[in-house]
Structure 1
Amino acid sequence: MARIFITGGTGCIGASTVQQLLLCENVEQLLVVTRSSNPRILHLWLGKALDRRVELTAADIGDAEAIQQLLTEFQPTHIIHLGALQSPACDTDPRQGMLVNVEGTLNLFQAAARLATPLKRFVFASSAAVYGKRSIYPGATVPEDVTLAPPNLYGVWKVAGEHLAALFHEKTGVPVVSLRLNTTYGPGRDQGRTSAPTVALKSIALGAHEGRVIPYRMPYGGRENYHYVQDVGAHFAGAALLPFNGIANLNIKGRTIEVSEFLQIASTVAHEMGIGDYCDLGVAEDATANLFVCDLEDAAVETTFPGLPRTEIQTGIEESLSIFRQQAAAGSLTLPSSVL
């Protein structure tokens, strides 16, 4: 039976990962560790009553002693490390970003190495931010073995995390998987630069509920690689529990299209759902180019963990809008103040 220690488990990806893990009968208990222990997004996927196998606790991964104590008491069989500060927070406060994203990751690896019973698996949430600009990779897709050239501090620290993962694997022999992902969209996504596509969808749903158009303009344009949030959760759950030995850095499955095409699909779906009159989406006149790489090659993750999902963008948008409309009706759907 699996006892899984998961950091960042109340965030967008974390909550979806928890939901996917609970679908597995061999999961005995989940210890969800976050700074706030706010279960709001977990309730989105799990309902008002959390599964009895889920335990929440507030802790800072930057506190090495606290993390060591939690691991020693819980004695996990698996760790999924999702907790991190995202790009805007890292840019605003680089020292705090490094404390959480590098030192916090180091604390977790060191504590895991001291466990009396070795882990069965460690899964690390890396990022496509480890790659450089799309223009430096000439191929049709970007595989995992290309030169890494992160465009910002967040990416630099994810590269550091992957190196820490490799050292941990070399020292302990514990199988380690680092998953690299781009733009996650869908219910629960409300932080980070690439939350913009989700904000666009929320503006349609909230506008439809309030009977008014809420215009939204994307702050960046160009090509973008999209992952539906439930697919991402399924990748992390699969990387933790499906058969695997060794160490791997893997791109997760997604779809790359133009930002403008994503917005057009959103408009089409909104019209099909009868709320197209409340759709006013576009790319801002002063939009910058998308900072992150796209066209991720994902053959390796299919070979390593066959059958993980890749939801079509139209389907992901439709499911997202349906949930956002329910949230709007319940009074729980919010938008950034800059949009309203």
Structure 2
Amino acid sequence: MAEKILVTGASGFLGAWVVRELYERGVPFVLFDRDPELRRLDDLLPERPLDIPVETGDIADLDTVLDVTRKHEPTAVIHLAALQMPFCRPNPMLGARVNVLGTLTVFEAARQLHSIEKIVYASSAAVIGPEQFYGGKSVANDAPLAPATHYGVFKQANEGAARVYFQDHGVSSIGLRPWTVYGLGRDQGLTSDATRAIKAALLGREYTIRYSGRNALQFAGDVAAAFVECALDRRQVQKVFNLRGRVVEMQDFIAELDRRLPGAADRIRLSGGPIPVACDLDDTEFRAFLPNWRETPLDEGVDRTFADFRRLQQAGKLSVADLEE
């Protein structure tokens, strides 16, 4: 059967990058989201075809997900539909409905409809505890989990559900645990501050990053490629992989911006303590699984993000709403 990928959460930040990756590889895809507005994809892929198939609906409604999968018969699902941490914190009931029940519907659809050969889903580094929990050591894939937020607990539940669906029903899946993903379109969540700082530096604005300490930064194009390569891989497995990223002190990240735009270090500041999640993740198993996957160096990723923002700025399409929240 020819490959066709269903992308849930396609209107989101990472969803848009995944869709661009699929488009550039020539892989057929179908988009699913409750929000039919694809502004992030428009920014990333302004030349996109207007006839891209888009299905709208509630990811937590099994009948809806079954209808979409029966209609399009995808061979794999890249499941990114979720509520971010700031939205789960004040409303954990809604967060659980979208993030946990919404994930279960995708797995249940795969169980019932055998055209789906694999699910690649977004877990998160939020399942990991603080650095002191691991004694300062690098955190392996199978290290004990200690999420400190509802969002992290929901992601941990999904990893467990994936294991049981494989154990009981043979549903193949790969979960990926990104840390701080940066790039054009990242405008929600605490760790979006790195991307917002790049935009603020370009515009000569003041901006305060709401955390300090070490952070693992990952360019969005790399993470999107990881999801797509896992979805196209034909091995029937149940895996969860850390994605380590470039571990840097946030003050050094600001210095990286200042090297490109002198004076940025005077306008971009840090506030608050470190994010309570270990960032020294061991991704040896992931790199062994996909040995051809490549990671963009931080300086190159920052340059590409500056270039994306500058392109939108020159076209009069660069939104600054996220800098004014």
Which of 269, 294, 299 is 2:279 aligned to? 294
Alignment of 1:34 with 2:33, yes or no, is: yes
Superposition TM-score, scaled by structure 2 size: 0.94
Instruction: Give the aligned partner of residue 20 of structure 2.
Output: 19
Q: Offset at 1:132?
A: 0.6
Distance 1:278 1:293 in 2: 26
In the TM superposition, residue 278 of structure 1 has moved relative to its aligned partner by 9.3
Letter in 2 for 1:225: A
Inter-partner Cα distance in structure 1 for 2:320 and 2:146: 33
3-state secondary structure, aligned to 2:273: strand
Output one character per residue of 1:206-244: Cα deviation in whole Å (capped at 9) or x when no partner.
x2xxxxx31111111111111001001001001111342
2:104 matched residue in structure 1 = 106
Q: 1:65 to 1:318 in 2, by over 3 A?
A: same
Which secondary structure state, in structure 2, belongs to the residue aligned with residue 326 of structure 1?
helix
Identify the residue that residue 245 of structure 1 maps to in structure 2: 236
CA–CA distance in structure 2, aligned partners of residues 277 and 98 of structure 1: 39
Instruction: Give the aligned partner of residue 319 of structure 1.
Output: 304
For the 8 Å contact 1:266–1:314, the answer to whether it is kept is no
Where 1:309 maps in the other structure, the secondary structure is: coil
Partner of 2:223: 232
- How many equivalent pairs are there? 324
Aligned to 1:216: 207
Kept in 2: contact 1:144–1:297 (CA 8 A): yes
Aligned AA (1:148): L
CA-CA distance at 1:45 after TM superposition = 2.5
Is the 2:86–2:189 contact (alpha carbons within 8 Å) kept by the matching residues of 1? yes
- The residue type equivalent to 1:283 in the other structure is L
User: In 2, distance between residues paired with 1:155 and 1:336?
Assistant: 27
Shift of the alpha carbon at 1:338?
6.0
Superposed CA offset, 1:6-35 (max 9, x none): 10122111111112122334x2x3111011
The answer to which of 139-148 and 219-228 deviates more is 139-148
1:307 is matched with 292
Match of 1:69 among 59, 67, 70: 67
Alignment of 1:281 with 2:280, yes or no, is no
RMSD of aligned alpha carbons? 1.8
Residues in 2 aligned to 1:128 and 1:197: alpha-carbon distance in whole angstroms: 16
Counterparts of 2:281 and 2:261 in 1: how far apart (Å)?
28
Question: How far apart, CA to CA, are the structure 1 residues paired with 2:96 and 2:195?
Answer: 27
The amino acid of 1:281's aligned partner reads I
Structure-2 separation of matches of 1:184 and 1:39? 19
Residues 7-156 of structure 1: matches in 2 within 5 Å?
A: 7-25=8-26, 27=27, 29-50=28-49, 54-115=52-113, 117-138=114-135, 140-156=137-153
Contact 1:251 1:297 in 2 (8 A): yes
Counterpart contact for 1:130–1:155, Cα < 8 Å: yes
Structure 2 Cα separation of the partners of residues 44 and 241 of structure 1: 25
The structure with more strand, counted as a fraction of residues: 1
Inter-partner Cα distance in structure 1 for 2:12 and 2:24: 19
| 1:19–1:49 distance in 2 versus 1, CA, 3 Å | closer
Per the TM alignment, residue 175 of structure 1 is displaced from its structure 2 partner at its CA by 2.1
Do the aligned residues in 1 keep the contact of 2:216 with 2:244 (CA within 8 Å)? Answer: no
Distance 1:69 1:316 in 2: 39
Tell me the distance in 1 between the aligned counterparts of 2:115 and 2:4: 12
Tell me which residue corresponds to 1:210.
none
CA 278–178 in structure 1, closer or farther in 2 if over 3 Å, else same = closer
Deviation at 1:140, TM superposition (A): 3.8
AA in 1 matched with 2:6? F
Over the matched positions of the two proteins, sequence identity in percent amounts to 32
State the match for 2:5 in structure 1. Answer: 4
Deviation track 1:14-71 (CA, whole Å, cap 9, x = no partner) reads: 111112122334x2x311101112121112222243375x311211102222111111
What are the ranges of 5 or more consecutive residues in structure 2 without an aligned counterpart?
A: none
CA drift at 1:163:
1.0
